[in-house]
Amino acid sequence: MPQPAQLTKAKLKEIQWDENNQVSETGKHIVEVQFNPQTLKVTFSNQLAGGDQGGGSGKQYVGKGATKLSLELWFDVTVPWNGKGEDPKGDVRNLTKEVIYFITPKPEGDKFIPPGLRFVWGTFLFDGIVDSMDESLEFFSEDGKPLRSKVTLGAAQQEIQFQFNEPSTEAPAGADGSSAQPGTQPMEQAKEGDTVQDMAGNAGRADDWKNIALANNIENPRQLLPGVLVNINGI
């Protein structure tokens, strides 16, 4: 049986800047995402002044500009992740606290400063400081524990910069030699009574249900918790 290709997962890494503004990874905190984001939004802006006086005076460039990154990350405690999340009655905030680390100020001299963030995924690279984070909790257990979370992350750097990562040119391959597909496909949400076979059949992939179960670390494909997220196309 062919094994599912290994997907490249995005990572969040703690970084620091030296006195020459050179960036280095600290190695203290590295988070591999549970599900790759579906989109990344990069915004470039210049710092301008003027343009509101009479006589039609134009705006003037007065700063270095800024680059901002925004993305959404999903976490689900019912899906195993980095050795965590096997207990379906757990609290998803035990997973999201790994990301919240990047917006939590740390003591540095007489100041409190949030750690630097490096977001890297394939050839995409962004270095900056997290300036906003929203967490939406949903899909609660019977005893009121949140099992799923959407974290909306915003980070910024104080200059306009295009950054590229240069990963290995040899793409990871599965046991059958097929190349891995970048990213993940949108997740499908299981309904009451759904099985992996049902979900695979509805997606036109009835013959792939075993590989789908393996790729999603599902031990019992005939018994899915309602609301669990299944990656049907990411094998």
Would you say residue 176 lies in a domain? no
For a pLDDT cut of 90, what percent of the chain falls above it? 26
Tell me, yes or no, whether 50 and 149 share the same domain. yes
Residue 222: pLDDT band with limits 50, 70, 90: confident
Are residues 131 and 232 located together in one domain of the fold? no
Q: Are residues 58 and 156 in the same domain?
A: yes
| Total count of domains within the chain | 2
CATH of the domain at 215: 3.10.350.10
pLDDT (tens digit per residue) in 63-105: 567 889 999 999 988 876 665 545 555 889 988 999 999 999 8
- Between CA 159 and CA 83 the distance in angstroms is 38
Whether residues 67 and 106 fall in one domain:
yes
Report the distance separating Cα 176 and Cα 98, nearest Å. Answer: 34
Pairing of strands 124-140, 146-157: antiparallel
Structure tokens that stand for 32 in this block = 């591999």
Task: Report CA dihedral (25, 73, 146, 101) to the nearest 10 degrees.
Answer: 20
Residue 88 shares a structural domain with residue 129 = yes
Mean pLDDT of 136-156: 91
Q: Which three-class secondary structure state does DSSP give residue 142? A: coil
Written as six digits, the tokens of 40 are 């990344």
Q: How far apart are CA 224 and CA 229, in angstroms?
A: 10
Structure tokens at 87: 């207990």
Give yes or no for a contact between 121 and 11, defined as CB atoms under 8 angstroms apart. Answer: yes
Answer with the residue of higher pLDDT: 180 or 123.
123
For the stretch 104-113, pLDDT in tens is 988 877 888 8
- Verify that 88 and 145 share a domain, yes or no: yes
- My answer on whether 204 and 88 are in the same domain is no
Q: Does residue 86 lie within any of the structural domains?
A: yes
Distances (CA, A) of 127 to 8, 24, 160, 162, 205: 19, 10, 11, 10, 39
On the question of pLDDT at 169 being above 60, the answer is: no
Question: Do 208 and 156 share a structural domain?
Answer: no
CA distances from 173 to 8, 55, 180 (A): 11, 64, 5
Structural domain boundaries, residue 59: 11-167
Question: How confident is residue 152, by pLDDT bands cut at 50, 70 and 90?
Answer: very high
Is the full-model pTM beyond 0.75? no
| Residue 46: predicted pLDDT | 75
Domain annotation covers residue 4: no
Same structural domain for residues 114 and 36? yes
| 96 lies in the same domain as 160 | yes
- 119 vs 23, which has greater pLDDT? 119
Closest CA to 209 of 217, 198, 219: 198
Q: Are residues 71 and 163 in the same domain?
A: yes
Last residue of a domain, one of 118, 137, 167: 167
Residue 106 lies in a domain: yes
Looking at the structure, do residues 135 and 196 belong to the same domain, yes or no? no
Most confident of 1-10, 148-157, 162-171, 225-234: 148-157
Tell me if 155 is assigned to some domain.
Answer: yes
Instruction: Inform me whether the pLDDT recorded for 13 exceeds 90.
Output: yes
Q: What is the pLDDT of residue 177?
A: 43
| E-strand stretches of 81-218 | 106-108, 111-113, 116-121, 124-140, 146-157, 188-189
Q: Residue 6's pLDDT is what?
A: 65
